[in-house]
Structure formats: structure tokens, C-alpha cells
A = this chain, B = another copy of it.
Amino acid sequence: MKKHHSMKKILPALIASSALIPASFAVAEDGLEDYRDRFDALPYLPPIPSDNSLSSEKVELGNMLFFEPRISSSGVISCATCHNPALGWADRIPRATGHDGQVGERNTPTVLNSGFLESQFWDGRAPDLEAQALGPIEAGVEMAMDLDSALARLNEFDLYQRKFEAAFPNDEDPINADNLAKSLASFQRTLNTPHSPFDRYLRGDMEAISDQAKDGMVAFVDNGCIACHRGPELTDSQFHAIQVPGSTDLGRYTVTGEESDKYRFRTPTLRNVAVTYPYMNNGATETLEESVAIMGREMLGSEFEEATINDITAFLHTLTGEMPDFEVPALP
């Protein structure tokens, strides 16, 4: 992990540099340009919604709130408990474990690069990070805190009063649910990993990934993985039906009630997939090799050969980026 820097200093640098980095700067060639052209390097920042401009004050406040366990009813569970920065901003257990040790139905997705997703949660029930942010606070199996109590708790601290005022200077009563969501979403939009070996490769460094990983990239395209895992985030943000071993989860159907949505889940990102094990909606699959085999069989109707599985796995490892800078905040 790199040295940590305060968000105040990083954010302007991030915004400035994202305009300056050329999308492609090929200095050599390895004969795979047609394959590389099928992929997109990850931008430095995801889209910012017009009604929640990204300010240093919101990011700093969101960073505090992300690590704040007192907005859980036990007082010990924060966003960072399950989205643990030490564990790829996820939890590396099959299914999320929350309030009173209750185990949820689904595997915790990483928050890394989540600002690039077109919908949030495995079933896409939230359109964006703002709509997502408050769900886990209120969920009985997660933080189990009603929102009014969480806001009242924050209001007890002078420091939070000052930080909310600084982040939302036009609001008369800034400690409210909207601003809690906006701050958390702003912080999460800074948690991106644009410097993976694969991004460096796409930006022209032909040596950034191994020959086996290049073979894996070719197999990923030729076998059709890229049909769903595409774009900078390597997901189409669409819902596809899959029933992995041990799962009875109805997926997207629980949101829409449409029969055709039964067992559909949003294609997960493959960014940092090597450090966000275990896999699948129920976290029942431990290794990338097994996951690649399952996806080939269930989604593409192919029994991949072992060599193909190993090549694709080598490619997936190149999608692990540098973990983003952040600080463990000093909470009041």
C-alpha cells in the first residue's frame, strides 16, 4: 500500500491528472492491438452526479462516516467492517456477517471502483451510490440502526456539526439523511484503482503484463467473457440469470417481481477480482480458477480446458490495481 495522504491534497491532484493522462500512448506493439481495442482503461474518477459535486469537504466527511461505528446499533459495526480496506474493501468471507453475528444472503461486493457501476447491490436495487449508502445502516442483518437514531447520534458531536456545515454550507440543518448519503457516496467515488498492470498495458506499456496474461486476454475475448464483462469496469451493468451451487437467491426478481428476473444478478466487476474472493452471489466459490470454470460452463456453455482457465486467471490477476490512498480518520 502506498503512503497515505490527506484527501484534501489528493482530490485536486486526482481531478487535474484525470484530464491529462492520454487514453492510449502505444510505444511498442505486441500484435494484439485488436484485442486491446476491445477494452477500456479505468478513468481516474467515475461520473459525478450534477446534484452532488465532489468536494474535499464531502470526501473528508464521508471518510469519517465510512469508519464511524456509532451509526450502528451495536456501536461497533461501520461501513469499513464489511468493506474492509485491509481486505480489498470487502470482507473475504462467503456471506456478509453483521449485527449480532447474523449472516446475510449475499457476498459483500467491494466498494473499489463502485462509482463506475450503473446500479448498486447484486440486484441493482439502488441506481447510484447515494441511493445505496443508507441501505446497510438500516438493514437488520447489517448495522441495524434506524436512520433517525444514526443522525441524532452524529448530531451529539460538535466535530460532526462543523464538518457537515463545511460540506453543505447552504443547508440550514445539514445533518440529514441526504447529506449522510452524499458524503459517503463522495468518499466512495475516490476509491478507485486506475493503476493496474492491465491499465498500464492498455496505456501502452507492452511489458506491464505477462505473455500468459496476454493469452488470457485473448481467451477472454475469443470465448465471449467480454460479452458481459466489458467497459472500463468490466461489467455491462445488466442482469443475467445464473444459479450457482447452493444458492436459492431470487436476485433481481426481489426488486422487480418480474418472472423473467428470477435468479438474475448484475454482472459483477472484475476489477481487483484477485483480492476480492470468495466469488459468486453467495460467496461459495473460493478460487478464480473454479469461478472461471463455472462461468464458462453456466454462462457460455463451454468446458474450458485447464490451460485456458489458467491463462484467463493470469489475465484476471492483472486487474488488481494499487489500493487507493485514504486515512483512518480521528473520530470525535
Q: Complex formed: what's the CA distance from A60 to B5 in Å?
A: 20
A173 proximal to B (CB < 8 A): no
Contact A81/B91 with A99-B101, A329-B1, A329-B86 known, Cβ cut-off 8 Å: no
Q: Which among B75, B92, B329, B330 is the interface contact of A75 at CB below 8 angstroms?
A: B92
Q: Complex formed: what's the CA distance from A93 to B4 in Å?
A: 28
| Min CB gap A317→B, angstroms | 14
A178 proximal to B (CB < 8 A): no
Q: Bin chain A's interface residue count.
A: 20 to 34
Q: Complex formed: what's the CA distance from A76 to B78 in Å?
A: 12
Q: Which residue on chain B has the smallest CB distance to residue A98? A: B76
| Min CB gap A157→B, angstroms | 11
Is A1 a contact of B99 with CB atoms below 8 Å?
Answer: no
Q: Which among B4, B76, B92 is the interface contact of A327 at CB below 8 angstroms?
A: B4
Report A69-99 CB contacts with B as 1/0, cut-off 8 Å.
1100011100001101111000111000101
A300 proximal to B (CB < 8 A): no
Q: Complex formed: what's the CA distance from A80 to B323 in Å?
A: 20
Is B100 a contact of A327 with CB atoms below 8 Å?
Answer: no
| Min CB gap A322→B, angstroms | 10
Q: Which residue on chain B has the smallest CB distance to residue A329? A: B86
Interface of A is mostly: loop
Report A49-67 CB contacts with B as 1/0, cut-off 8 Å.
0000000000000000001
Is A3 a contact of B4 with CB atoms below 8 Å?
Answer: yes
B-chain residues with CB within 8 Å of residue A76 when the two chains form the complex: 81-82, 91, 93, 97
A14 proximal to B (CB < 8 A): no
Report A309-332 CB contacts with B as 1/0, cut-off 8 Å.
000000000000001000111110
Among A1-58, those with CB < 8 Å from B are 1, 3-6
Contact A75/B100 with A67-B86, A328-B328 known, Cβ cut-off 8 Å: no
Is A101 a contact of B74 with CB atoms below 8 Å?
Answer: yes
Contact A97/B84 with A328-B1, A329-B1, A330-B1 known, Cβ cut-off 8 Å: no
Is A86 a contact of B323 with CB atoms below 8 Å?
Answer: no
6 pairs of residues in contact across A and B, judged by CB atoms under 8 Å: A1-B327, A3-B5, A68-B86, A69-B84, A81-B81, A100-B100
Known: A1-B327, A70-B92. 16 other contacts (CB 8 A): A1-B330, A3-B3, A3-B4, A4-B327, A69-B87, A69-B91, A74-B101, A75-B97, A76-B91, A76-B93, A76-B97, A86-B329, A86-B330, A86-B331, A87-B331, A275-B330
